[in-house]
Amino acid sequence: MATTDTFKAFCPNCEAITEQEFIQAEEYILVDSKLISVHLRYYICLECGEDYEIPSEDYDPLAELYQKLGLKTREDRKAFFETHRLAFNIRQMKDYEKS
């Protein structure tokens, strides 16, 4: 279940102080017919409608997902991304778009 709080803060998209919502939620990603839960924390600017994250040491949803999938090394992650035809980086994303 998602929790939200509304407040005013600086929006990096609008580059202004706007009304915003802070969202915390458990989301699920379907991987090989298995639902994997990931805890998300992000902000939504109520002015422009864009969302964004503020990086912090104690929050890395990708690391959480990699851990739950058992992807411990860069090679494990790269193989997973190649198997599922997901872009591991920008260059690979462009290569996939061309093929």
Residues 56-83 have pLDDT tens digits of 888 888 888 889 999 999 899 888 888 8
Instruction: Identify any residues that bridge with 39 across adjacent strands, giving them in sequence order.
Output: 26
pTM here? 0.64
Interhelix angle 74-83/61-69, rounded to 10 degrees, is 80
Sheet holding 34-45, edge to edge: 3-11, 16-31, 34-45, 51-52
**Domain boundaries of the chain, sorted by first residue:** 1-56, 60-99
Mean pLDDT calculated for residue range 10-18: 95
Task: Supply the pLDDT for residue 10.
Answer: 95
